[in-house]
Each structure stands twice: as structure tokens, then as C-alpha cells.
Amino acid sequence: MDQVYEKQLNISPSICDASGRLSHPGTFSVFMDLAGEHAELLGVGLDILMPQDLFWLTVKTRIEFHERPRLSEIVTARTWPEKPGPIRSNRSYQLLRGDEILVAGKTEWVVMNVATHAPVPPMTVFPPLDFDRPGALPKPFARFTGRFDGVEPFAEYRVRSTDIDVGGHMNNAAYLRALFSCWSSAEVNAMDIHSIDVSFRASCFEGETLQLRRLDMPGCTDICISRGDDTVLLVRIQ
């Protein structure tokens, strides 16, 4: 079995924004789909794990944008699992034009037993692999230290049926679509985003109302998405 999964990807209209380039939420969707496709080939996809009461749970994501590919451009999409730790496992991603890296990312995953809510060592799930390829992003995930006490929400979002995935909760990429839907196209273009870090803290479900708060700091903006007093997601945009 191959540690690396690679395919040609057409940047279709459904994943582009008003600028005619791959959108930031669309990038999260592309990487999530790549991980799912590769997991199926490795024999650790949802159809294999769910009958065992196991589920891949995303804990953190970091994506760095060097150049977002254009509408209808054909790029190389690549992903691979890094060497797993005792409990958590990273997966790397790249979008390339020839040898040029346009976008790179990584996610931190945990294999959860949905019956016991206990993590399962990922090496007991993966097939035999060399795990000899280094990660796409050596920089660590963001550490969120800002406090949102007393910060008023700048927007609210009601979780819709279109946000829900096969796990019965809000899909990971749907959080980014919800966040970016709170800004105009002009505001998104003006941000000149180079990286996005996401820390997933809790699951959300259809019909719930989420509050969005922001802290503008030197060099970055932190976003807190909460449900009442519970933080469900933290985002750092640089």
C-alpha cells in the first residue's frame, strides 16, 4: 500500500469564490475529501470503521495559502498520513502546479470509539506502512491564548440540515463555510489570508444557534464560535 495518495483535481465552480479562485472553505472540503478517498484505499474508511464503532475525529487543522488555484485549473492534489503518535495522528496535504506548492496543510486526527468515547491508538487501525515521508508543514498548530470574555458577537449562525454529515453533527468544512458567509466577498478579498488554523472543541447539531466573536491582534485575527457558554471552535486567520 502507498503512503502517498495523489490525483489530478479540477478546480470546479462549486469550490470557488467570487474571485474565481479556490475558496478558503473549499480548500478545507478538498482536503477532507482527499483524506476520505485515501482512507478507503488504505482500508480504514468509514465503511470499515463504523461497523467497529470507530470514527475518525478531526482535532486541529492548519492550511497555508501561497497561491489559490484558479477556476478550471488542473492541479495535483496529494495527501499522506504522517507517522502516528500513541493517540493522535497527523495527515499532510498539498495542492501543486507542477513542482510548485500552491497550498499546504495538515490535520490532527484521533480515532474514537463512539460507543465508549475513548480514543484508540491509530497504529492499531492503520495497515502496515513505512511512514517515512516528512510532514507538509513543520510549523506547529496555533496555540490560542486570547480570551473572549466580554466580547460581543459580530454574527450568529443557525446550523442547517445542509451542514450535517453522516456522523449526525456539523461537518468540519461547514464551520468554515458558516464563518466566511458572515463576510462580504470584498471583505474576504481584502483579508489577503496566508494561513488558517482551526481547533475543534465540540460537536454541533442541526437547529442550534452559534455565536461568533473576534479578537483582532497584531498579525492575526482569532475567531471564537460558541454555543451559549461552550466554545465549539477556535479559528486563527493570518
CATH number at residue 18: 3.10.129.10
User: Is 136 contained in some domain?
Assistant: no
User: Is 171 contained in some domain?
Assistant: yes
- What is the helix, strand, coil percentage profile of the chain, to 5? 20, 40, 40
Last residue of a domain, one of 107, 124, 141: 124
Q: Which of 81, 102, 98 is nearest to 34 (CA)?
A: 81
Do 177 and 233 fall into the same domain? yes
Q: What is the pLDDT along the chain (238 residues), one digit of tens a residue?
A: 689 999 999 999 999 999 999 999 999 999 999 999 999 999 998 888 888 989 888 999 999 999 999 999 999 999 999 999 999 999 999 999 999 999 999 999 999 998 898 999 999 998 888 899 999 999 999 999 878 989 999 999 999 999 999 888 999 999 999 999 999 999 999 999 999 999 999 999 999 999 999 999 999 999 999 999 999 999 999 9
Q: Which of 98, 107, 81, 88 is nearest to 27 (CA)?
A: 107
Angle between helices 24-42 and 172-180 (to 10 degrees): 170
User: Is 141 contained in some domain?
Assistant: no
**Phi, psi (rounded to 5 degrees) for 31:** -65, -40
**Phi, psi (rounded to 5 degrees) for 48:** -90, -40
Q: Which of 202, 173, 40 is nearest to 107 (CA)?
A: 173
Do 119 and 162 fall into the same domain? no
Do 117 and 159 fall into the same domain? no
Q: In terms of residue numbers, what domain contains 109?
A: 5-124
**Structural domain count, the chain:** 2
User: Is 137 contained in some domain?
Assistant: no
Last residue of a domain, one of 84, 106, 124: 124
**Dist CA 111 CA 91 (whole Å):** 13
